[in-house]
Amino acid sequence: MISRYPCIGNLASLALLLCLTASQPAAAQIKDTAVEDSLVTYGNSQVVRYRVGASITANRGPVQDVLAMVAVPFECAEQQVQIAEEDISPEVDQLDYRLLDGGARQMLIRIPYLPNGKEAHAIITFDVTTSAVLPPEEDQTALLVVPQKPDRQLKKYLGRSDYIQTTDSKIRKTLREIFAPKKQPAEASESEPASDEPDGEAASAAVDAGPEQSADDEETLTPWQRVETIYDYVQDNVQYVEGDDKTAVETLTDGTGDCHDISALFVALCRADKVPARLVWVHEHCYAEFCLADADGDLHWFPCESSGTRGQTAGVRAFGAMPQPRVIMQKGDNFRVPERPRERLRYATDFFIGVPVRGSGKPLMKYIREQL
């Protein structure tokens, strides 16, 4: 997947705000207890080492009041994260972690003062254990319902966000078409010969007069089956093609897209059908999750593969499951960062704030993110 995550850099008075565009989705972290899900079971696990950090060099004069925000691997039910190694230079005064909107983790690196020519860094190596997600049993899915009275947090995954135009007329129209009653050809009458003109008016009239799917048939679909119908539509109608990230509407119009684009379209259609859904950013990949509730009102999130042959991973169809464990970076597509209050971010990118001493220029900033 080729992705571009926009950042912003500006100079207000003496304050220098910089950011480096992240070329890959990034990570999450430690110490928060993940909530267990009674309907979601896990398969084989993958353990990898993942290195994340930032290095700043005052190559154009001293800089002070540095705050660097770096995305790190995300602790969740299917992923546990532990610190394996720390490489922190003496110039770093404070190193903290914070959770953003329940779906992303940032490492905060604070440097009070960095003299001219000096380099400071904080580089953390994590042990990340990620488990495959197995599909639920059919009798379990039959009892799931669309969440009622979603709270503020869940409403984020029902509305419009960047690249996901839930309320666009094309998205709404496509959703109606997906679930429209389908007309079936009429069976030829034994007393009347079949028409020799299949493209003529007689054939057209026969099709129009044929038995239709009852309008009530749509109501017989469970919420799980409705989401699966949306998933199948996207898989059948969008060809996987690598490229720059596109919106859900662009993907629908073009009929092509990469893992991000296919996931964005699926999410948009789910939300238009009042089913909460979100993007999941993993190492060098992106997929989607949707949310349904059980009879007690407890929420359950289920993943869906967005690329491959009809959403398959390792030859296994991945609707409501994720057979291939990958390092999970963030879950969501509508983040707020306290230092950037006017921005809505679909991905919490790396970001840097610093104040150059009079006469100094902006420092050299380098972000580190690699799977070892």
pLDDT value of residue 327: 96
* Total residues belonging to the chain: 372
Dihedral of alpha carbons 270, 274, 279, 280, sign? negative
**What tokens does 14 get?**
């003496």
Q: Which residue has the higher pLDDT, 113 or 13?
A: 113
CATH class for domain 138-182+214-320?
alpha beta
Reported pTM:
0.80
Identify the DSSP state of 198.
T
Tens-place pLDDT, residues 319-338: 999 999 999 999 999 999 99
How far apart CA 169 and CA 152 sit, in angstroms, is 25
3-state secondary structure of 143: coil
153-179 pLDDT per residue, tens: 999 999 999 999 999 999 999 999 999
Task: State the average pLDDT over residues 263-280.
Answer: 97
In the predicted model, is pLDDT for residue 60 greater than 80? yes
Mean pLDDT along residues 32-56: 83
Which backbone phi and psi does 267 adopt, to 5 degrees? -60, -45
Report the SS3 class of residue 64. Answer: strand
DSSP string, 101-141: TTTEEEEEEEEEEE-TT-EEEEEEEEEEEEEEEEPPPHHHH
| Helix (H/G/I), strand (E/B), else coil: 151 | coil
Say which residue the tokens 């996931």 belong to. Answer: 263
Report phi then psi at 233, rounded to 5. Answer: -60, -45
Main-chain phi, psi angles of 115, to 5 degrees: -65, 165
Q: Please report the sign of the dihedral spanned by the C-alpha atoms of residue 223, residue 225, residue 228, residue 232.
A: negative
Q: Write out the CATH class of domain 10-35+46-133+338-371.
A: mainly beta
pLDDT class of 39 with cuts at 50, 70, 90: confident
3 state SS of 237 = helix
For the cut 80, the answer to whether the pLDDT of residue 220 exceeds it is yes
If we measure between CA atoms, which residue out of 265, 273, 255 comes closest to residue 333? Answer: 265
Q: Which has the closest alpha carbon to 272: 264, 280, 281?
A: 264
DSSP assignments along 274-332, one per residue: T--EEEEEETTEEEEEEEEE-TT--EEEEEE--SSTTSEETTEE-BS-B-S---EEEE-
62: its two tokens: 């001293």
Q: For the residues 297-307, what does the mean pLDDT come to?
A: 91
What are the extents of the domains in the chain?
A: 10-35+46-133+338-371, 138-182+214-320
CA distance 219 to 269: 18
- How far is residue 314 CA from its own chain's centroid? 21
